[in-house]
């Protein structure tokens, strides 16, 4: 096992060095490198979204550039696109805008409509790639093998070699996101990333956005030190390339989690603050990553015993009006932990009761309809940052069990 881990670490380090060297000089194997035009590519948090080429609608090119900006810019872009003739190209662009805003249901609906009305393989490729966004796949509960089939299907239609690289990178990004990789699959991932980097370097003379996103997939593999090294390399490469805010958010979020799991809460808080600052304005307040940033801040402040600040942070989320019922219940359980640790058991019990009631109202959001309430609550409370507080975890399980018995 140690030998396997050593070779995997060497492989990941080799890829990092390969990426960084690839930004500086052209490949000698490709005397005439293609030029990378980012006009029709949008960097999202977990995948690269593809816009269709100009379909003749006046103002289309200007409108799609707005989809790359902050929340207000994206809203303006959607508004302008909505006023145009609703061709498949325009509907695809609107879908991309909704994905940027994390409005996945609306994105899925309009992208499916665009696909139905499309009569062009090149347009189909863009739409199906965007339907393959990690956000939509997560919404649909799509498994890794199903996702792979989607990407493999669309790759058969691609004629643009740069688009093919983009879709291959997105395919690689999905697997680790759902944590499906064992040791063998991790090595397969390293090999596939290595091959993509070589192909991109041969095509463009350097590594660019496809290489960047495929390398992001590796950050889900290895131990925490390997992940931290990977995040730092991604950040450096992004600064040398396009300085995508989405990639910086990805890095800060990842470093927050890694240092949290290492128990270095002060450093995790530093990166969490950078995450929040970078996301503010760029992501909508209702975006799941914006919400998670503040939830993680509340968790870290709790671990640092800065209870008043933690309560203020979590109360801010409750008052924001952007939470679904499941997250509202979760935050009430988190607040319960804070009051429990201050020996205010009465308030903690009230919050657990409130969480249980809210949870029942939002039962469907957890997609556990086929399980009974007790099994669902066991899954619901089996959360990483709560397991780090075993005393509260035991008390919470006892409280939930008692309340469920009273209702039976």
In the chain, % of residues over pLDDT 90: 40
- Under DSSP, is residue 280 helix (H, G, I), strand (E, B) or coil? strand
Residue 85 CB neighbour total at 10 angstroms:
11
Domain ranges of the chain: 1-24+132-242, 48-117, 324-408
Buried b (16+ CB within 10 A) or exposed e, 218-241: bbbbbeeebbbbbbebbbebbeeb
Residue 237 is predicted with a pLDDT of 87
- Per-residue pLDDT tens over the stretch 287-329: 888 888 999 999 999 999 999 999 999 999 999 888 877 788 8
Cβ(50)–Cβ(130) under 8 Å? yes
Integer Cα distance of 162 and 366 in angstroms: 38
- C-alpha distances in Å from residue 193, one per residue of 146, 166, 219: 20, 12, 12
> Bigger pLDDT: 311 or 213?
311
Q: How many degrees, rounded to 5, is the angle at CA 261 between CA 257 and CA 266?
A: 75
**C-alpha distance from residue 393 to each of 238, 242, 388 (Å):** 40, 44, 8
Instruction: Note the pTM of the prediction, 2 decimals.
Output: 0.80
pLDDT in tens, 96-147: 999 999 888 899 999 999 999 999 989 999 998 898 876 666 655 555 556 6
Report DSSP state, residue 36.
P
Give residue-wise pLDDT tens across range 311-322.
Answer: 999 999 999 888
Residue 197 CA to residue 216 CA, distance in Å, equals 12
């Amino acid at each position: 096992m140690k030998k396997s881990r050593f070779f995997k670490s060497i492989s990941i380090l080799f890829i990092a060095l390969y990426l960084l060297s690839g930004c500086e000089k052209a490949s000698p194997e490709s005397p005439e490198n293609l030029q990378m035009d980012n006009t029709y590519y949008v960097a999202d948090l977990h995948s690269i979204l593809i816009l269709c080429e100009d379909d003749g609608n006046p103002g289309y090119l200007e409108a799609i550039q707005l989809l790359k900006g902050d929340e207000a810019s994206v809203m303006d872009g959607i508004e302008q696109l909505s006023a145009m003739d609703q061709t498949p190209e325009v509907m695809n662009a609107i879908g991309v805008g909704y994905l940027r805003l994390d409005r996945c249901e609306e994105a899925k609906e309009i992208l499916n409509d665009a696909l139905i009305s499309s009569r062009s393989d090149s347009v189909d490729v863009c739409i199906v790639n965007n339907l393959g966004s990690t956000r939509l796949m997560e919404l649909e509960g799509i498994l890794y093998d199903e996702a792979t089939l989607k990407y493999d299907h669309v790759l058969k239609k691609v004629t643009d070699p740069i688009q093919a690289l983009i879709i291959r990178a997105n395919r690689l990004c999905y697997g680790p996101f759902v944590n499906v990789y064992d040791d063998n699959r991790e090595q397969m991932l390293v090999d596939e990333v290595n091959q993509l980097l070589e192909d991109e370097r041969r095509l463009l003379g350097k590594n660019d956005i496809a290489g960047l996103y495929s390398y992001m997939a590796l950050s889900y593999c290895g131990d925490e030190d390997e992940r931290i090294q990977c995040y730092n390399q991604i950040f450096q490469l992004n600064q040398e390339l396009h300085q995508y805010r989405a990639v910086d958010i990805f890095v800060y979020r990842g470093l927050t989690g890694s240092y949290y799991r290492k128990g270095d809460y002060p450093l995790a808080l530093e990166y969490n603050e950078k995450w929040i600052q970078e996301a503010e304005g760029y992501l909508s307040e209702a975006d799941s990553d914006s919400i998670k940033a503040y939830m993680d801040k509340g968790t870290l402040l709790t671990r640092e015993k800065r209870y008043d600040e933690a309560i203020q942070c979590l109360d801010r989320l409750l008052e924001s009006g952007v939470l679904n019922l499941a997250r509202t219940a979760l935050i009430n359980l988190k607040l319960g932990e804070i009051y429990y640790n201050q020996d205010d058991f009465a308030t903690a019990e009230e919050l657990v009761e409130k969480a249980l009631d809210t949870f029942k109202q939002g039962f469907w959001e957890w997609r556990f309809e086929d399980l009974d309430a007790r099994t669902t609550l066991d899954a619901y409370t089996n959360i990483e940052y709560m397991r780090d507080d075993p005393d509260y975890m035991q008390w919470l399980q006892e409280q939930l069990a008692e309340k469920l018995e009273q209702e039976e």
